[in-house]
Structure 1
Amino acid sequence: MNNDLTHPYCTAFLGMRVVASGSLHHVVSTVKETLDDRDLTQLLIFDDSTGRQIDVDFRGNTDDVLTRLEEPFGALPGTEVNHQPARQVGRPKLGVVSGEVTLLPRHWEWLKSQPGGASVTLRKLVEEARRAGGEQSKIRESQEATYRFMTAMAGNFPQYEEALRELYAGDLDRFYHFIEDWAPDIRDYIKRLAANAFSLT
C-alpha cells in the first residue's frame, strides 16, 4: 500500500521550530527516532492542507506507532483513493441532459440573442459560475487552515488579531506585514497555509 496516498502531508513543530515535514509516516518515523520521550510529549503535528492538529500515540517503538496510524486513517470516509467506484471499460457516455428552465420573457430574449443561442449561453454561464465558486471555495479553505494553525501556535503573538483581520479582509501585504516579526518557522508555515487565501483579482 502507498502510505503517501492514504495519509496527509504534515509538519511537526517542537516549540516554535519545525523538526520534520513530509508524509505522516515520514514525520512520525523521523521524530520517533530523533526525539526523546519528553520532547515527543510536547510535539505538535499539523495537517498541511487543513491546518488541523494530528494526534499521534508515540508509545512503543517506531513500528508500533506506524501500525497504529493505519487504524484511524484506513477507515476515513474521505479517503477516496482507496474507495473509487468501479469504472466500466470503454468510452464514457457524454450526453446532454434536458430539463425545464423557467425564466422571464426578457431573460429568454437576451439568451436567444447571444451567439450560439440559449442552450450554449446557459452552459457557459453555468461553467463560469462553477469556476468562480471553486475559486471562492479554495480561498475559504486556505483561510480556515491558516486560522486554525494561527490560533493554535500564534494566538499570543503580537498583532495576532490584526493579522487575522487582514487574512479575512484579503489584504496580502498587510497580512504579511503583521506576521513579519513572528518566529521564522511559524511565520513561513503560515505563509504556506495562506498561499491560496488571497484572491488574485
Structure 2
Amino acid sequence: MTEDTFTAFHHGRRIASGAPEAVLAAAWAALTRDSVEPRVFSDRTGAAQPLAPPSGATPAKAGRGRPRLGVSAREVTLLPRHWDWLSAQPGGASAALRRLVEAAARAPESPEAARRRAADAACAVLSALAGDAPGAEAAVRALYAGDPATFSRETAAWPDDVRDYLAHLAAPAFSAAAAPSA
C-alpha cells in the first residue's frame, strides 16, 4: 500500500500537496501568518486531517491500552455463533479479527469499491470546501451517478483550486463507472 498524500487549502486556495510532512509544514506556516486555520485533506479518502503540531512538540500523555502498537479499543457487535468461532481461533478473538482485517486489506479492490471510495473522498472534500456553493447538491448527485459532464458543469464557477482538486479526486469515480461490467 502506498503512503497517503495530502492537500492543504487556505482561504479557498491550494497551498500544498504531497507528502504529509511537507503539507502539514505549509499548513502551519499559513496558520502563523493568519488566524484562519488551513484545511488539510487526505487525497485517498478525502478525510479532513487534524492540524497536528510540528515535530518536536510535546506529545499528549498516552492513555490506557497498547499505545506502542497503535491498538485502539472499539466495540464490535456479533452474533453468539460468531463469538464462538472467534474464540476458538488461535490467539483468540482479537488476533483472529486482526488476521481477517489484514487479509481483506491486502485483497485487490473491486472496481465498484474503487469507484465508491473515490466518490466518497470527493464528496467529503466537496462538503468541506464547497458544501454551500451554488450547484453543490447537483454536483454530489452527478458524482454518485457517474456523470462527469454534469459534475464539471456544476463546479465550473467554483474557485479554480477547489474545482481542480475535486475533479482530480472524482476522476477515478467516473473512469471506474464508465468501465464495462463483466
TM-score computed with the length of structure 1 as normaliser: 0.59
**CA deviation profile, 1:118-168 (whole Å, cap 9, x unmatched):** xxxxxxxxxxxx98x711111010110011111111111001111111111
> How far did 1:50 drift?
0.4
The residue number in structure 2 matching 1:47 is 42
Report if aligned partners of 2:39, 2:49 keep a CA contact under 8 Å in 1.
Answer: yes
- Aligned Cα root-mean-square deviation (Å): 2.8
Spell out the pairing of 1:152-191 with structure 2 (5 A cutoff).
Answer: 152-191=128-167
The residue number in structure 1 matching 2:9 is 13
The residue number in structure 2 matching 1:64 is 56
Change (3 A) 1:42 1:136: same
**CA deviation profile, 1:57-101 (whole Å, cap 9, x unmatched):** 33xxx4325x85xx99x8379xxxxxxxxxxxxxxxxxxxxxxxx
Q: Which residues of structure 1 form unaligned runs of 5+? A: 78-129
TM-score computed with the length of structure 2 as normaliser: 0.65
Change (3 A) 1:177 1:162: same
> How far did 1:192 drift?
0.8
Is 1:149 the counterpart of 2:125? The answer is: yes
When the two structures are aligned, how many residues end up with a matched partner?
Answer: 135
Change (3 A) 1:171 1:76: farther
Query: If you compute each CA radius of gyration, which structure gives the higher value, 1 or 2?
Result: 1
Report if aligned partners of 2:40, 2:50 keep a CA contact under 8 Å in 1.
Answer: yes
**How far, CA to CA, are the matches of 1:36 and 1:169 in structure 2?**
37
**How far, CA to CA, are the matches of 2:24 and 2:147 in structure 1?**
36
> How far did 1:8 drift?
2.5
Report if aligned partners of 2:31, 2:38 keep a CA contact under 8 Å in 1.
Answer: no
**CA deviation profile, 1:8-47 (whole Å, cap 9, x unmatched):** 2100110200111111111122333x43525365111000
**How far, CA to CA, are the matches of 2:156 and 2:36 in structure 1?**
29
